[in-house]
Structure 1
């Protein structure tokens, strides 16, 4: 928290800056998705919780009175925080989790908030480009308002501490400029190749895949369908060449999906290019990295469906970015807790909505007291 710049004037600092971020995270952890719900949570919080968070204490008629920021003040301060600083805060909220096999991967993908049309006025150019690190932790995030997701990825590469990492992205980013930006950041790329690069795609398709016998195969069943996936890998060099900077390996992924209800089978083929050679990224690791990239889609789904990001009414660009970073921080914390998933962890914390979030955040360990919950207005009238 000390690395966040306080956007308020000296005379406007009734509450420490940490209070605003702590209230938002506590609300997110126990199932409250919107700033209005966080403010209601703060308004009804027991005095012991308010004191632990750093609320203001007043004495009225001999009785002590503790309070946390109102909705208007909460949303004002959270919107004024520097978006880049808060994105880095979300990246550091839990320690980095190194994979046992030493392959550190950063998955980059963009998403368009539902509120984009209201933000930009013309319809659709606002894009959040996020970088997902291992363990469900946001590595960084950039908000672009000109629709240039490709340039945003390159900017992320300059900001990220990506040296030694494997940076993966979808087919939109499969171009020479992006590959060079990743390499200049001291990282290796892992980029999907589809028909949006017709010449490169045709050359990859024509490679001697029939001569490869190092295929990795997997099969999964669930949600009424069975998927069989094979991955073949070629090392660049000799007769295996593609005009792409730093290319070391090429993978071909083929998968068949069978609908158990109808028996219908669909077939797909995709290629991946990487600058990391086979000594550092063995075939099984390469296949795992390709599959792991799609964890970024699950991350977006969690933010949208579980945390309501797509239903957010935020309309200011900086507010959109900052609330997204706070959701990402909450997801990283919940994933670090383990258990049966983010939703299950939120439900468990929601059983003790005032004491459990503070314990998880390491702020205070307050004993749960069972009592009739009254709003502050009701308590005042009584």
Structure 2
């Protein structure tokens, strides 16, 4: 957080502080040696430290401002492999993180066990988020298709939260059900055009309420969503098309196509955030 990326740099940072700043950290007489700082930091509980720092960062954010009527706190969940960090056996460290997309703060993160993956860490991550926020009620979670799991949908619904999730090949039955909906008959709900980074992009959202209980193979789903993206490279004129299918557990009255357009893009934020981690 102070820009130091080694134990020596951390010790140098401490020595450069004035007396008042060092006293606030509890160093009243002398600054500990580098080896002492190493012993201290390596013995810290990393998960507990992440929770404490997340809470501290939230106290440093600007006061809340009036929000639009349908404003909803959106938390993006994603896994990342830490560059340059390895365990004693040489394996890389992988974290599952939860990012508050409105503030850019990582609220919680879980270290993935060596012989495991992100899926078992999902429920413990929700517990950590709840310990930081106090409640998960009315929060919308977004994640990538790896977390399109029925258990995850149930775990999010239990405390009164909601889920917007893409559907891909890891859920073939659900993917086929969404793809086979009569999209040609469903009107466009929202369409946006952007220019930048040497390309033009059009994003079109269609959404339909799932009126038949059990109509698709995913619990708590209220709407099916299709987002089509058309990108044209300005210099070459080459055009590409991409179609994404999603489900959301919010009804249409509380999740308009314009909202869906915005929320679907929130998941991308955690992919590009590299400076907001609480660790």
Smaller-chain TM-score bracket: 0.7 to 0.9
> Bigger shift: 99-108 or 142-151?
99-108
Match among 240, 258, 265 for residue 291 of structure 1 = 265
Q: Is residue 215 of structure 1 aligned with residue 215 of structure 2?
A: no
User: For residues 161-172 of structure 1, what are the structure 2 equivalents within 5 Å?
Assistant: 161=130, 162-172=136-146
1:105 pairs with one of 56, 67, 74? 74
- How far apart, in 1, do the equivalents of 2:204 and 2:5 lie? 40
The answer on whether the counterparts of 1:174 and 1:192 sit within 8 Å (CA) in structure 2 is yes
Shift in alpha-carbon separation, 1:285–1:35, aligned structure 2, 3 A: farther
Query: Measured at CA, do residues 151 and 52 of structure 1 come closer, stay the same or move farther in structure 2, by a change above 3 Å?
Result: closer
Question: Between Structure 1 and Structure 2, which shows a larger proportion of helix residues?
Answer: 1
The match for 1:142 among 110, 113, 135 is 110
Task: Give 1:38-57 correspondences, 5 Å limit.
Answer: 38-57=10-29
RMSD of the TM alignment (CA)? 2.4
CA distance, structure 2, for counterparts of residue 44 and residue 122 of structure 1: 34
CA distance in 1, matches of 2:256, 2:96: 29
Shift in Å, 1:231: 1.1
Which of 89, 96, 107 does residue 129 from structure 1 map onto? 96
Find the partner of 2:278 among 312, 316, 325. Answer: 325
CA distance in 1, matches of 2:163, 2:88: 32
Matching of residues 1-382 of structure 1 within 5 Å: 25=1, 27-28=2-3, 32-57=4-29, 67-93=30-56, 94-95=58-59, 100-101=67-68, 102-115=71-84, 118-119=86-87, 121=89, 123-124=91-92, 126-133=93-100, 134-145=102-113, 146-161=115-130, 162-238=136-212, 241-299=215-273, 301-302=274-275, 325-326=278-279
Deviating above 4 A after TM superposition, structure 1's stretches of 4 or more consecutive aligned residues are 96-99
C-alpha distance in 1, partners of 2:242/2:74?
25
Q: Is the 8 A contact 1:158 1:185 kept in 2?
A: no
Query: Whole-Å Cα distance in 2 between the matches of residues 87 and 281 of structure 1?
Result: 32
| Structure 2 counterpart of 1:13 | none
TM-score in terms of structure 2 length: 0.85
- Return 5+ residue gaps in structure 2 as ranges: 131-135
Unaligned runs of 5+ in 1: 1-24, 58-66, 304-323, 327-382
SS at match of 2:72: coil
* Structure 2 contact 142–266 (Cα < 8 Å) conserved: no
Larger radius of gyration: 1
More strand per residue = 2
